Structure 1
């Protein structure tokens, strides 16, 4: 069992702001806690905010990376649980971007005493298509091709994926930042996380979520169509869905005012 200081340094835990309610922010694949910096200034006067990096991302302690643990999202959910218990948190609102929505849901299902509400920013329980019942957005072959590009040309892969994720209509600066973030992650770790993200299917989990859940969905998202947000809403009994008139998969970076307002209104 790791001690609390090891867990804090392992996940590069930072605490900002103050308030009676704690928000715990989980970043998406290829990102780190820095991606929340557009959003936190709108929230840190009212909430205590806990930021962290998953092992292998950002300024986490890469020496703690365990391929076996992190080959499935459950390993990352264990990070979330350990951060909560280390900081003695309970009744937390978990704000997850993209794949972190499912990581947060796994942690919330495992430890409902720690997480009382979920906020999912552009979630997807499954990126794969299973016609005719479910359209996650990608055929298996497309994703296998994308991952084989990671092996052949890592920079090219990052430059291809970043505009798709951020949305071409958004600033070149944000696209460049995401591409740089992809490139700064160890390629072996990135591929492992990509496989855990894009080839997993957590649709079964949604019906088990009992926490009130807010889903924030982008109107035009190349990675998760509005129909995916509607599917998540339909499956989580205690959820509500807000579709934001925006392009891209990173609403917390491109539309922080709208996202923060939605969070404040939901929690209050």
Structure 2
């Protein structure tokens, strides 16, 4: 099995354009970029993929040990980059994939030109003076609910994560995406995501970084975006009018404009 097959990689756009790699968040797949990625087809070589366990990825490739930390997912990103022989990559990572991109770029900075982090959080858990947005009891209760009834958890949490209660169709789409993800892998990925701590990795980033921070984001609140900005050397922080955690779905035009300005 090639990495291209494993992660259901699709490559479109300019054949010899600068590579632009889009990575989806938890419970999602590459389809979540359908309103953003096409805007860059005329200027870039656009690379989309699914994390193992999501979308059209090969579930047989899932390995408990490899994916017990975000490093395994970062290794997948690098393997895709190697197989396609990509250089000067613009990596766009949503939610947990923001930190996956940070890990990949820290490991092989020579392959990356820029990182665009959409709703990033290096640590979801409140920890001493650090505010991540969730108390330990909140995370433990959420993971317990997810373990016992993944579909029920998805139906309850997806609209909250999406925000935009005045546009229920967006919450419904995210719910459907969560429910389409392999439940066993989704539960394990949730534990890895919400218990991770990548704060020490932020200061090691050596490529230009754009942080896109949404308004009223319950998953990655503004204080977290400020923290990422303060700890990533030379980063650019843009606070969007978009609300919720998924501006790639709820506000694609604003997302595209912010990325274009940075590029």
CA distance in 1, matches of 2:56, 2:167: 25
Q: Which residue is equivalent to 1:94?
A: 91
| Cα contact 1:169–1:247 (8 A) shared by 2 | no
Runs of 4+ in 1 over 6 A off after TM superposition: none
| Cα contact 1:80–1:107 (8 A) shared by 2 | yes
CA distance in 1, matches of 2:48, 2:185: 21
Q: Which residue is equivalent to 1:76?
A: 73
Output the TM-score relative to the length of structure 2.
0.97
Q: Which residue is equivalent to 2:37?
A: 40
Aligned with 1:241: secondary structure? strand
| Cα contact 2:150–2:187 (8 A) shared by 1 | no
Alignment match of 1:225 (pick from 208, 218, 221): 221
Tell me the alpha carbon deviations over residues 173-211 of structure 1, each in whole angstroms, 9 at most, x when there is no partner: 221111111111122101111011100110000011111
Aligned with 1:66: secondary structure? coil
Q: Which residue is equivalent to 1:205?
A: 201
255-264 or 90-99, larger mean C-alpha shift: 255-264
Aligned with 1:218: secondary structure? strand
Distance 1:14 1:230, change over 3 A: same
* Structure 1 unmatched ranges of 5 or more: none
Q: Which residue is equivalent to 2:145?
A: 149
Tell me the alpha carbon deviations over residues 86-145 of structure 1, each in whole angstroms, 9 at most, x when there is no partner: 0000110100001101000000000112112100000000100013x2110001111111
The 5 Å alignment of 1:50-199 reads 50-131=47-128, 133-169=129-165, 171-199=167-195
CA distance in 2, matches of 1:115, 1:29: 23
Aligned residues: 262
24-33 or 180-189, larger mean C-alpha shift: 180-189
CA distance in 2, matches of 1:214, 1:137: 21
Quick check: 1:263 aligned with 2:256? no
